[in-house]
């Protein structure tokens, strides 16, 4: 009896064909790539590899992209194979790390490989769950590093969501790993029905309810009852809006005394969260996940259900839920519960609903995941992070909006994101069908929704690029020349090389077209190419003149911004923050770089100005006092200052028309252009009766020539791109002394850099080498290390971060000096810039490490408890790396002390014991 047959016999369900094919390939000694929809059962293949490893006396590593999924998979494997056979290694958990089966985050495996860990001995299988994460801009490179560097004897089992270029990815795996099978399934074991909610009614999206995604781009026919309902709702919405405008004009407002949710319903024509959950409950479509792309919105949804007295589970189950929360939260200090939102959380849990987002305490998120998976709560309001790998299926997925904020702007959901989110609907073995529900609101086109639901093109794109840490590790292990060859085998270079083939052919086609255009513009009176070149030169000079005048206006604007002082009142002429603003941080010059002023707008937003905001010179309208210790992070401080701004601001002056200013700056004709015009008129071709016909072909020739030159640059840029970047990195590291012997060997400083894996790895190494943190105590060190991990959310940058001590302020200044020097070197080497250290968390981390309570730490900040805990864990992780890499015993001891002082209370509460 084969191991596969025994394995299938141990399951409570029969294997699908794609699962059986993939498992058979694994048993035959092949690596496999399994690409299948969410909920199709890909992980069974990984579990088979684990079972096979145990039978053969080999080790199996099961890697995941996030700690929450690692914890979940650890629990699953312990239930199947026993705690003695399963271990867990994540950033802050280490359980039975030498077990034959170890679950870990992908970064842990990468670090083990670079360190040459003895735990790799006897490794037979590596399962890479959610391998499509290699497209992630921030962390994707880790997946490729592991795939490239794993010993050839290790079988790789890659589990991916459905991507349209699975075969291309499989070809690359075959190239770098050899003997690989690609198993693709697009069949959802639980059919997914697509719906839209219009007002109080739910409609099928398509006329044929069995319609689903298709490759050809054809959109199935929409449900005519849905389109009629939307048309009627829009008409009602217009009529109600007109009625409200009329009522306000008569001094009344018919919605003024209604509950907020009812007012929203009347104004927008869409159902409220309470109504949707109540309707789903009545129709037997719970449990449901409602995706709301806002943490505040998720918490508000829980508040709305509480305010409306909703209960989704029996009181007996609610009491069991309450006791579980109390037991799991017993280690939390009583004084921290209020700031953690504990009371609303436990009340919602006891009624069968909860929020789930990154701003929550990790312990709370894990409770939600556990109870929802067990069916003990029936509704979860989540941000999109819930869709990233965690196994929390539901019967129904609700999308409130089809637009999300990506950190820089509001963008439409992509088809891949829509599929990832709605893929949670339909629990295999429980539901006979899943349901995806989009809430209609004015402006949502059902055709657009149908396009999202029916598209099946999600290409996987590599985000791989070499880093400083990767470079020293590769040079140490295989040498510089061999390392460059290894990096050429990355998926990034594989894709680039494939694209170059098409570009080269396109270049050849355009060269042939250029020759044809040159023949068409031939003139019997003279060399029309020469004549056309003069015309082209005149056109270019005119464009350059326009650019120069625009640059002059920008220069004047920059000079005027540099002249502004704290308290000056200005007007931002256009954009999202147009209107009054007061300067709270003036322009500063630093190492030849000038930062523009930071202002507080009349709508209470802190913004660093750009020349896009102020395209022409600006003059202060007046001035007002700004408190000496104004705290830009405090909502109250921002609100008070914005109120004073509106009171103190004088009447706004008439804006200068930039176009008028530009015409005034234009002046007379450039002497060079005048000379070229004389040459043009004297040229023989100027008298040709077919001159303009020739000129039309000439314009086409020049346009195609520009495009052809662009293609040539693209081919050059994509050829050996990874190796070229690696060589530039090695050059910089050689200049700094991290590599020696012409870049062929690693110095002692380079050995320390090998142990540092943060996004600011080289900056951290430079701080260690230059002794920046020698004089600090443990709390001050934690505060400084926070500057190396903190990435503020969009719009949360603090222009004047508070420094907890003079020692931290001095160290921060030195860190900025080092960063500025590195940035200059990176600019010269044409390398991506290291992110600037950010002190926005330093004050809070110092308070926490010094033993302050959580409510004191978070006072006067906009920081959510969950964000603070997550950042603290990142600080702890980097402190651990610093303790390993520090050049002197004192700093190693200090880093360990700082780790202990940060890893306490809520930060340590969710560690898996």
Q: Nearest CA to 115 among 757, 877, 553?
A: 757
Pairing of strands 396-399, 288-291: parallel
Enter the pTM of the model.
Answer: 0.70
Q: From the centroid of its chain, how far is CA 79?
A: 34
Is the alpha carbon torsion for 874, 880, 882, 884 positive or negative? Answer: negative
Place of tokens 């009491």: 319
Q: What is the DSSP letter of 564?
A: -
Question: Which pLDDT belongs to residue 505?
Answer: 57
- Residues whose CB is less than 8 angstroms from the CB of residue 517 and which lie 6 or more positions away in sequence, other chains included: 697, 698, 700, 701, 704
Question: Which pLDDT belongs to residue 232?
Answer: 86
Q: Nearest CA to 287 among 375, 160, 399?
A: 375
**Other CB atoms within 10 A of residue 535 CB:** 20
Query: What's the mean per-residue pLDDT of the chain?
Result: 82
Question: Which pLDDT belongs to residue 842?
Answer: 92
H helices present in 584-690, as ranges? 635-648, 658-666, 671-682
Low-confidence ranges of the chain (pLDDT < 70): 1, 91-92, 209-218, 237-269, 385-391, 405-410, 456-457, 499-510, 589-594, 651-670, 711-720, 793-800, 910-913
The DSSP H or E segment spanning 404 is strand 403-405
| Helix orientation angle between 141-149 and 480-487, rounded to the nearest 10 degrees | 110
The 3-class SS string of 484-506 reads: HHHHCCCHHHHHHHHHHHHHHHH
Beta strands in 691-773 (DSSP E): 739-740, 745-746
pLDDT tens digits, one per residue of 844-873 = 999 999 999 888 888 877 778 888 888 898
% of residues, the chain, pLDDT over 70: 86
Q: What is the DSSP letter of 425?
A: B
**Other CB atoms within 10 A of residue 158 CB:** 29
Question: Which pLDDT belongs to residue 666?
Answer: 44
pLDDT tens digits, one per residue of 591-617 = 555 678 888 898 888 888 887 788 888
The secondary structure of 679-714 as a DSSP string is HHHHSGGGG-TTHHHHHHHHHHHHHHHHHHHHHHHH
Question: Which pLDDT belongs to residue 408?
Answer: 58
Q: How far apart are CA 47 and CA 769, in angstroms?
A: 45
Q: How far apart are CA 759 and CA 84, in angstroms?
A: 36
């Amino acid at each position: 009896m084969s191991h596969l047959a025994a394995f299938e016999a141990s399951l409570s369900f029969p294997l699908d064909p794609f699962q059986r094919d993939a498992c058979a390939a694994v048993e035959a000694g092949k690596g496999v790539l399994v690409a299948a929809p969410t909920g199709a059962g890909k992980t069974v293949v990984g579990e088979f590899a684990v079972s096979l490893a145990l039978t053969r006396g080999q080790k199996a590593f099961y890697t995941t992209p996030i700690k929450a999924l690692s914890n979940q998979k650890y629990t699953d494997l312990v239930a199947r194979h026993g705690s003695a056979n399963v271990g867990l290694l994540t950033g802050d958990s280490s359980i039975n790390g030498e077990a034959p089966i170890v679950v870990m985050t992908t970064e842990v495996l990468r670090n083990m490989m670079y360190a040459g860990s003895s735990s790799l001995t006897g490794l037979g299988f590596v399962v890479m769950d959610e391998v499509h994460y290699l497209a992630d801009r921030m962390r994707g490179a880790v997946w490729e590093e592991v795939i490239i560097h794993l010993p050839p004897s290790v079988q790789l089992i890659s589990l991916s969501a459905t991507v349209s270029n699975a075969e291309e990815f499989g070809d690359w795996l075959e190239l770098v790993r050899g003997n690989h099978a690609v198993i693709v399934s697009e069949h959802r074991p639980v059919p997914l029905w697509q719906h839209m909610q219009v007002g109080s009614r739910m409609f099928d999206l398509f006329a044929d309810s069995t319609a689903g995604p298709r490759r050809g781009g054809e959109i199935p026919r929409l449900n005519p009852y849905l389109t009629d309902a939307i048309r009627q709702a829009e008409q009602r919405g217009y009529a109600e809006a007109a009625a409200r405008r009329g009522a306000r004009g008569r001094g009344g407002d018919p919605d003024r005394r209604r509950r907020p949710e009812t007012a929203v319903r009347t104004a927008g024509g869409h159902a409220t969260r309470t109504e949707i959950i109540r309707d789903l409950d009545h129709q037997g479509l719970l449990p449901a996940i409602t995706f709301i792309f806002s943490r505040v919105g998720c918490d508000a949804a829980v508040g709305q259900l509480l305010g409306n007295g909703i209960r989704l589970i029996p009181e007996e189950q609610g009491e069991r839920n309450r006791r579980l929360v109390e037991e799991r939260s017993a280690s939390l200090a009583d004084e921290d519960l209020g700031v953690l939102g504990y009371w609303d959380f436990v009340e919602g849990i006891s009624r069968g609903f909860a929020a789930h987002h990154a701003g929550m305490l990790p312990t709370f998120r894990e409770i939600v995941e556990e109870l929802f998976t067990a069916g003990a709560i029936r509704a979860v309001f989540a941000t999109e992070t819930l869709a990233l790998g965690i196994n929390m299926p539901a019967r129904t997925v609700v999308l409130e909006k089809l637009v999300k904020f990506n950190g820089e702007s509001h963008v439409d959901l992509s088809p891949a994101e829509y599929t990832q989110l709605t893929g949670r609907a339909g629990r295999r073995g429980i539901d006979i069908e899943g349901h995806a529900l989009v809430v209609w609101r004015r402006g949502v086109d059902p055709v657009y929704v149908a396009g999202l639901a029916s598209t099946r093109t999600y290409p996987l794109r590599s985000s791989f690029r070499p880093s400083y840490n990767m470079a020293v590790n590769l040079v140490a292990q295989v040498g510089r020349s061999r390392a460059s060859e290894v990096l050429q085998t990355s998926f990034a270079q594989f894709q680039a090389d494939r694209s170059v083939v098409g570009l080269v052919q396109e270049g050849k086609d355009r060269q042939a077209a250029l020759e044809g255009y040159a023949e068409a513009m031939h003139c019997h009176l003279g060399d029309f190419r020469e004549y056309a070149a003069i015309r082209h030169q005149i056109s270019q000079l005119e464009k350059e003149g326009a650019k120069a005048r625009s640059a002059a206006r920008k220069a004047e604007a920059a000079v005027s911004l540099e002249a502004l002082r704290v308290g000056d009142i200005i007007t931002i002429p256009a954009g999202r923050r147009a209107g009054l603003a007061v300067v709270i941080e003036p322009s500063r010059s630093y190492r030849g770089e000038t930062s523009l002023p930071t202002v507080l707008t009349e709508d209470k937003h802190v913004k660093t100005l750009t020349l896009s905001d102020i395209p022409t010179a600006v003059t202060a309208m007046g001035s007002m006092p700004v408190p000496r210790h104004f705290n830009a992070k405090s909502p109250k401080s921002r609100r008070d200052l914005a109120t004073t701004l509106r009171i103190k601001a004088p009447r706004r002056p008439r804006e200068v028309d930039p176009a008028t200013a530009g015409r005034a700056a234009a002046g007379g004709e450039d002497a060079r252009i005048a000379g070229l015009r004389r040459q043009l008129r004297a040229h023989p071709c100027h008298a040709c009766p077919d001159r303009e016909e020739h000129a039309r072909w000439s314009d086409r020739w020049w346009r195609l020539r520009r495009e052809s030159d662009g293609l040539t640059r693209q081919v050059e840029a994509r050829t050996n791109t990874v190796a070229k970047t690696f060589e530039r990195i090695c050059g910089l590291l050689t200049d700094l002394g991290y590599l020696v012997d012409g870049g062929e060997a690693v110095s002692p400083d380079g050995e320390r850099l090998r142990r540092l894996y943060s996004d600011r790895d080289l900056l951290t190494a430079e701080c260690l080498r230059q002794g920046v943190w020698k004089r600090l105590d443990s709390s001050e060190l934690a505060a400084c290390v926070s500057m190396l991990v903190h990435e503020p959310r969009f719009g949360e940058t603090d222009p004047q971060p508070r420094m907890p001590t003079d020692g931290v302020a001095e160290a921060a200044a030195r860190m900025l000096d080092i960063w500025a020097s590195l940035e200059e070197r990176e600019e010269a080497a044409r390398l991506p810039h290291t992110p600037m250290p950010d002190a926005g968390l330093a004050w809070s981390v110092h308070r926490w490490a010094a033993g302050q309570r959580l409510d004191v730490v978070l006072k006067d900040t906009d920081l959510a408890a969950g964000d603070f805990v997550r950042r603290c864990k990142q600080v702890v992780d980097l402190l651990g790396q610093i303790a390993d890499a520090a050049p002197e015993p004192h700093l190693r001891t200090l880093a360990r002390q700082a780790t202990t002082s940060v890893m306490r209370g809520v930060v340590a509460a969710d560690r898996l014991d």
